[in-house]
């Protein structure tokens, strides 16, 4: 297994050259002065070290050992508590946090790169601080000032961790039917009773306290999703002076045995009249959760990228080292028994597929993060515009990065041949670990439905038009550059194909309630491919004039060419399937399956 | 997890209605009188029971327990020895065996269905008898009469099992560089010394003896693949009366820890001057191995189908039982809290994708098996024609069934949402188990190269033309049936697309040695999709007139429609990528990756 080396050059290229992040940071209120190029680079450099030296070395061993449960107490694998302590000492838990409560207030554009490194090194580890950061976002946005002061500083510090308690055995996608209930108490708190499953970090031995954000229903709540409220339920109650008091009635009943992310404790939690405090308004719990959902969903997408990058680095090293057979063009290393397998066109196809999908994804995650930053720090029309872009692009990022994350890790395993199937090489773990990212935080089918239905059909394509206009603006700006024609012309055609599929889906939905769901998954993938084409064209636009300077730019241009020649054609098939209508799906009786 | 129910109806439909197997059986020398429809159905019925009652129940437990190694001795999981005994008592090890040595001499068309059931129930288990059957094929085709009489009856019986010892740590795809050597002894035997890895069933506690077929080099052998010979090396030497004698110097040094197929022992084997006997001619060991390769590779493809079918049955049951959210068309079960998820178009898309890929694959495996039977039992021109079809179609079957096997099992896991990631539901095991089928017995990249290079470019498309003519004959016969137009017209267009891609690849290869490898994987997938379209059109052709008789035929026609509308469009993208040339792959320096 290769040693993990953070792709800092690629990250610098995107942040500074393609997206000119420092110009944005310099003008957004709340970011000016807080971050510039030097600060950003120093932060990336530090995480590159932490990821390589602290998080990566406990990834394989964490998978082998897994988490353990004993009478309600969860133990994480060897080295995890120490790594968590190092992580917290570095202040990483506060990176994006609100400065009023001890956060560093950094932009998501930077945070996205930091997250990628953590996830490349160790997805299981990443989940503990990621869930805490998510809980902090919800608390910061919706909790009372008292709760914020009481909880946020400790959570940013990492000495208290967070957990999100949504799913129940009978209620996953459909949270409207949850049964956990909250009884109001005289002192203003609530008594929470019920069972939750699939709770990441529901218990662990890393932090002093665990702050659960729990969805539950008040006794008189309306049925369905409009009757759900959000509660903060600490594992240990917090005394007025901030010290830990007695144990709350929340216990971990068991942990799941899973395909992967085995060092991440996935807990079944029991609430037996646990004390909790309302976060946000009564019956508006789902809306409060959705505040942080855009961040969390992009974060899950980035897990897919992180695993892909790790797999690519391993596969590339193996393809250079493994000697097997001869190049079709004749021996390249005549003094050796065979040539390295990277001489073979199909091995190159595999590696370039990884490289192109990772590069496209990393660029798109930076682009989405840019809109998240404008939505958070911007004002007026610009903020509204950014919010629409975030709403539209989030499901694409979550589902496309993770679907391509499975493809990439499977390819990276395939490059190893039989050795890819053996645990010690690490490639198969990446496949198992990344597989969950297509499922949790809303399955990728749900993401596609969100994109097709709520984000596109429901507003008559208004959000989509903003995205299309952004791509068109780029095309218009580049149309006269002769050397860009190989990218700009196909980008324009594929944008047109996506526009037609969008119009088609909106039109079909007027008469057919099944139209969005029937088109959704292929529509999302078509969208993803056009977005990657846009990203690669932007990268090529910056890199082309610099190909003489540095091999890196050559690599960018050639990867862009590969993307356009070999991967973008998938848009043809995806559009045909997305446009095929719902009849072949719905006109078959359930008994005929 | 659903109970496994063998898809006997589908199998009968293919054997008796689509391919009229009994007509073929009645006229092929060696098969007339040996098998008819009733015999075939009785055999399928028996395996359906064995698979459901004996092999399926130890599949999950076998995965959890895995194999154990202790001082050279391998122990298989609980229940495996008993199941193996039951399997052998039923005579299943002799199903396709040569009747001269105690085999039943059944056709592969029947054997393919039997294998699917074994693999649906338990891939790990299946590997033990499958490897034995493969070793028997090689012995039957190439060993001396004495070796055949000594070994085949016991191996058909199953009391002695087989293992294939090819791979070495530094030599997998490239067997030309193996180092295991064979020194001729005065008594006509050989002394074998070397190390092999990835040896399935290299040691186990199921059979009394293990017969290794080992690739090794004589001291004076030429370099490369033309210097390899094949040897039979038993774990226990066999005395002249057929009883077991002393232990041979072949030992299992360790077993691998793998992603899946954990109940199958994958062994590192050491040969320390072990006694062996030559099988076939000196230096023609690879050719001897390739005799059985077509059977083995189709067999691996069928593993992909088997796992897909198991995953589909589980997913279908779950989709009918799991209550979550409402249909887009309004509540379908207003008395319940939500509707079963099978009402959702995207869940139907997932299930129909599985059903269409499995049905297409099962039909194609039956079609390939038909050509294997004609190649084995037929004569003259018909036999030669069949051999060419087998040579062409085998890499397609191996790679396409298993690539689609991963897709299908991933989809089947996705239908379960979060529960799909939890081990107890079994869906994630199918993903892990099926993943190896894309790798072993020649990676799918190697299959694609075999199809593109040796089987197509090397003969100027001669084998391909035979396949295209077969499809064209069907098109010509159906062209006037109005109700078949929805299948026949797109089939004709896609056949044309495949012909063009074939011609393209052959033409490009005249000047570019990288052309076959650059096109190969997408070319194979394009071929696979056209072949599935042909299969579904044949199924529809038979089913259409009978839709009034039985729901089954309705299901076939509607699945065919889904395949043409939603999956066949992938041919568009695959052809574009296959036709894109090698430049974007080769014109990038190794350092720029």
Question: What does the pLDDT look like over A32-67, one tens digit per residue?
Answer: 889 999 999 999 999 999 999 999 999 999 999 999
Nearest-angstrom CA–CA distance, B210 and B222: 30
Alpha carbon distance A41, A47 (integer Å):
10
Within the 506-525 window of chain A, which residues sit less than 8 Å (CB to CB) from chain B?
A: 513-514, 516-518, 520-521
Closest residue to B448, CB basis, from A324, A346, A567:
A346
Interface contact B445, partner A, CB < 8 A: yes
How many Å from the N-terminal Cα to the C-terminal Cα in chain A?
44
Alpha helices in B453-582 (DSSP H): 462-478, 485-509, 515-543, 551-562, 570-578
- Let me know: does A404 contact A361? Beta carbons within 8 Å: yes
CA B347/CA B341 separation, integer angstroms: 7
Please give the Cα distance from A235 to A245 (Å, whole number): 10
Number of helices and strands (H, E) in chain B? 19, 11
* A466 found inside a domain: yes
Q: Exposed, middle or buried by CB within 10 Å (0-12, 13-18, 19+), for A414?
A: buried
Q: Please give, rounded to a whole number of angstroms, the shortest distance from the CA of A476 to a CA of chain B.
A: 26
Q: Name the one residue in this structure whose structure tokens are 């000492």.
A: A89
Residue A444 confidence (pLDDT)? 98
Three-class HEC string of A456-482: CHHHCCHHHHHHHHHHHHHHHHHCCCH
Describe chain A by its helix, strand, coil percentages, rounded to 5. 60, 15, 25
Q: What share of chain B is helix, strand, coil (3-state, %, to 5)?
A: 60, 15, 25
**Interface touch B349/A173, C-beta < 8 Å:** no
**Rounded distance between C-alpha atoms, residue B167 and residue B170, angstroms:** 8
Q: Is residue B563 part of a domain?
A: yes
Question: Tell me, what's the pLDDT at B294?
Answer: 87
* Distance separating alpha carbons of residues B541 and B48, to the nearest angstrom: 28
**Alpha helix locations (H) across A229-344?**
285-321
How high is the pLDDT of residue A322? 96
Contact present, A201 and A210 (Cβ < 8 Å): yes
A residues 220-259 lying closer than 8 A (beta carbon) to B: 256-259
pLDDT at site B326: 96
Asked if residues A213 and A231 have their Cβ atoms less than 8 Å apart, the reply is yes
pLDDT of A174 over the 80 cut: yes
The whole-angstrom separation of Cα A49 and Cα A37 is 19
Please state, in angstroms and rounded to a whole number, the distance separating the CA atoms of residues A580 and A584. Answer: 8
pLDDT at A33: 87
A477 part of a folded domain: yes
Residues of B (63-82) whose Cβ lies below 8 Å from A: none
Cα separation, B407 vs B413, whole angstroms: 10
B424 is catalytic: no
pLDDT of residue B70: 97
Q: Which residues of B touch A558 (CB under 8 A)?
A: 584, 587-588, 592
Host H or E run for residue A68: strand A68-70
Do the Cβ atoms of A256 and B422 come within 8 Å?
A: yes
pLDDT in the model for residue B291: 77
Look at A572 and B567 and tell me if their CB atoms are within 8 Å.
no
Tell if the CB–CB gap between A445 and B347 is shorter than 8 Å.
yes
Domain-embedded: residue A325: no
CB pairs A-B closer than 8 Å: 256
DSSP type of residue B437: G
Give the list of residues 6+ apart from residue B491 with CB closer than 8 angstroms, or none.
Answer: B471, B475, B530, B533, B534, B537
Distances (CA, A) of B351 to A593, B261, B312, B409: 8, 25, 7, 11
Binned average pLDDT, 10 residues per bin, chain B of 593 residues: 94 98 95 93 98 98 98 98 98 97 97 98 98 96 97 98 96 93 98 98 98 97 95 97 96 98 98 98 92 90 98 98 95 95 98 98 98 97 98 98 98 98 98 98 97 98 98 98 98 98 98 98 98 98 96 98 98 98 96 94
Q: Is residue B577 part of a domain?
A: yes
Three-state SS at B111? helix
B143: nearest Cα among B130, B152, B134: B152
- A177 part of contact set with chain B, CB < 8 Å: yes
Question: Distance between CA atoms of B539 and B526, rounded to whole angstroms?
Answer: 20
pTM for the full predicted model: 0.98
The rounded distance, in Å, linking the Cα atoms of A287 and B183 is 76
- The bridge status of strand B209-216 relative to strand B160-165 is parallel
A561 touches chain B (CB under 8 A): yes
Percent of the residues in chain B that have a pLDDT greater than 90, as a whole number: 97
Q: Quick one: which H or E segment has residue B90?
A: none
Q: Of A417, A541, A542, A535, which Cα lies nearest the Cα of A479?
A: A541
How far is Cα A184 from Cα A190, in angstroms, rounded to an integer? 4
What ipTM goes with this model?
0.98
Dist CA A409 CA A305 (whole Å): 10
Nearest Cα of chain A lies from the Cα of B326 at a distance, in angstroms, of 9
Tell me, yes or no, whether A496 lies in a domain. yes
CB A582, CB A515: distance < 8 Å: yes
Domain assignment present for A159: no
Coil, strand, or helix at residue B230?
Answer: strand
What's the mean pLDDT when you consider all of chain B?
A: 97
CB atoms within 10 A of CB B468: 17
Pick from B9, B412, B418 the residue to mutate for testing the A interface (most A CBs within 10 Å): B418
- Residues of B with CB below 8 A from A592's CB? 551, 554-555, 558
Residues of chain A with pLDDT > 90, as a percent, come to 97
- Rounded CA gap, B215 and B180, in Å? 7
Name the burial class of residue A69, with classes exposed (0-12), middle (13-18) and buried (19+) by CB atoms within 10 angstroms of its CB: middle
Q: Check residue A102 and give left, alpha or beta (phi > 0: left; psi -120 to 50: alpha).
A: left
B490 touches chain A (CB under 8 A): no
- Provide the residue count of chain B: 593
The residue of chain A nearest to residue B167, with distances taken between CA atoms, is A418
Tokens representing residue A50 in the block: 């932490």
pLDDT (0 to 100) of residue A68: 98
DSSP β-ladder status, A68-70 and A73-75: antiparallel
What residues form DSSP beta bridges with A274?
A192
Q: How far is CA B456 from CA A328, A329, B402, B503, B525, in A?
A: 16, 18, 21, 10, 15
Q: For residue A290, what pLDDT band results from cuts at 50, 70 and 90?
A: confident
Residue B78 lies inside a defined structural domain of this protein: no
Give contacts of A 286-325 with B, CB under 8 A: 316, 320, 323-325
Residue B178 burial by Cβ neighbours in a 10 Å radius (0-12, 13-18, 19+): buried
Contact B584 A592 (CB under 8 A): no
Note whether B554 contacts A589, CB cutoff 8 Å: yes
Q: Which residues of A touch B170 (CB under 8 A)?
A: 323
Q: Are A401 and A302 in contact (CB under 8 A)?
A: yes
> Does B413 contact A at CB distance below 8 Å?
yes
Identify all chain A residues contacting B579, using CB atoms and an 8 Å cutoff.
none
Contact of A286 with A224, CB cutoff 8 Å: no
Residue in chain B lying closest to A322 (CA)? B170
Give residue A530's domain range: 460-587
Handedness of CA B353, B355, B361, B364 (dihedral sign): negative
Of A422, A567, A570, the CB nearest to B258: A422
pLDDT number for residue A1: 77
Mutation site, A312, A566, A570, A581, interface B, largest B CB count within 10 A: A566
Split into its structural domains, chain B has a count of 1
Give the active site residues of A.
441
Length of chain A in residues, anyone? 593
Contact by Cβ (8 Å): A169, A114: no
A479 touches chain B (CB under 8 A): no
Cβ atoms of A193 and A250 within 8 Å: the answer is no
Select from A571, A573, A592 the Cβ nearest to the Cβ of B554.
Answer: A592
Q: What pLDDT score does B2 carry?
A: 83
Beta bridge partners of B271: B194, B250
Please state, in angstroms and rounded to a whole number, the distance separating the CA atoms of residues B298 and B367: 11
Residue A235: alpha-carbon gap to chain centroid:
27
């Amino acid at each position: 297994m290769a040693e993990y080396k953070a792709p800092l050059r690629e990250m610098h290229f995107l942040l500074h050259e393609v997206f000119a992040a420092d110009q944005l940071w310099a003008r957004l209120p709340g970011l000016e002065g807080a971050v510039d190029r030097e600060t950003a680079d120093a932060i990336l450099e530090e995480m590159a070290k932490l990821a390589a030296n602290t998080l990566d070395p406990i990834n394989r061993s964490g998978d082998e050992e897994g988490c353990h449960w004993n009478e309600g107490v969860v133990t994480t694998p060897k080295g995890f508590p120490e790594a968590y302590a190092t992580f917290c000492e570095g202040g990483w838990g506060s990176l994006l946090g609100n400065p009023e409560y001890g956060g560093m207030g950094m932009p998501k554009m930077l945070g996205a790169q930091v997250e990628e490194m953590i996830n490349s090194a160790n997805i299981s580890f990443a989940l503990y601080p990621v869930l805490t950061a998510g809980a902090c976002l919800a608390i910061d946005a919706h909790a009372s000032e008292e709760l914020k002061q009481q909880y946020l500083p400790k959570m940013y510090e990492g000495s208290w961790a967070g957990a999100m308690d949504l799913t129940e055995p009978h209620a996953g996608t459909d949270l409207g039917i949850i049964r956990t209930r909250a009884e109001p108490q005289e002192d203003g708190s609530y008594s929470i009773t019920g069972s939750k499953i699939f709770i990441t970090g529901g218990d662990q031995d890393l932090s002093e306290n665990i702050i659960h954000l729990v969805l539950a229903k008040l006794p008189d709540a309306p049925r369905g999703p409009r009757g759900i409220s959000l509660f903060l339920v600490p594992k240990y109650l917090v005394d007025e002076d901030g010290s830990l008091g007695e144990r709350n009635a929340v216990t971990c009943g068991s942990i799941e045995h899973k395909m992967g992310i085995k060092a991440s404790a996935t807990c079944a939690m029991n609430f037996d009249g646990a004390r909790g405090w309302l976060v946000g308004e009564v019956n508006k719990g789902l809306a409060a959760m959705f505040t942080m959902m855009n961040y969390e969903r992009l974060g899950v997408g980035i897990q897919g990228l992180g695993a892909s990058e790790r797999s690519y680095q391993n596969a590339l090293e193996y393809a250079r080292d493994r000697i097997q057979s001869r190049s079709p063009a004749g021996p390249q290393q005549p003094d050796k028994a065979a040539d390295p397998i990277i001489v073979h066109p199909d091995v190159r196809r595999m590696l370039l597929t990884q490289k192109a999908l990772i590069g496209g994804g990393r660029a798109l995650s930076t682009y989405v993060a840019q809109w998240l930053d404008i939505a958070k720090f911007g004002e007026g029309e610009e903020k509204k515009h950014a919010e629409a872009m975030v709403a539209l692009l989030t499901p694409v990022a979550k589902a496309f990065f993770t679907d391509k994350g499975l493809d990439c890790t499977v390819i990276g395993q395939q490059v190893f041949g039989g050795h890819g199937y053996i645990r010690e090489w690490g490639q198969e773990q990446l496949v198992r670990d990344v597989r969950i990212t297509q499922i949790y935080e809303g399955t990728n089918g749900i993401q596609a439905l969100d994109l097709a239905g709520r984000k596109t059909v429901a507003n008559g394509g208004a959000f989509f038009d903003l995205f299309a206009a952004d791509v068109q603006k780029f095309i218009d700006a580049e149309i006269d550059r002769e050397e860009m024609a190989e990218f700009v012309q196909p980008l324009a055609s594929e944008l047109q194909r996506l526009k037609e599929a969008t119009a088609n889906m909106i039109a079909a939905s007027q008469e057919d309630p099944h139209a969005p769901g029937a088109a959704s998954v292929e529509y999302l993938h078509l969208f993803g491919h056009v977005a990657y084409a846009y990203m690669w064209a932007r990268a090529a636009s910056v890199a082309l004039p610099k190909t003489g300077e540095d091999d890196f730019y050559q690599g960018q241009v050639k990867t862009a060419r590969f993307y356009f020649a070999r991967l973008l054609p998938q848009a043809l098939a995806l559009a045909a399937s997305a446009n095929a209508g719902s009849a072949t799906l719905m006109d078959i009786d359930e008994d005929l399956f």
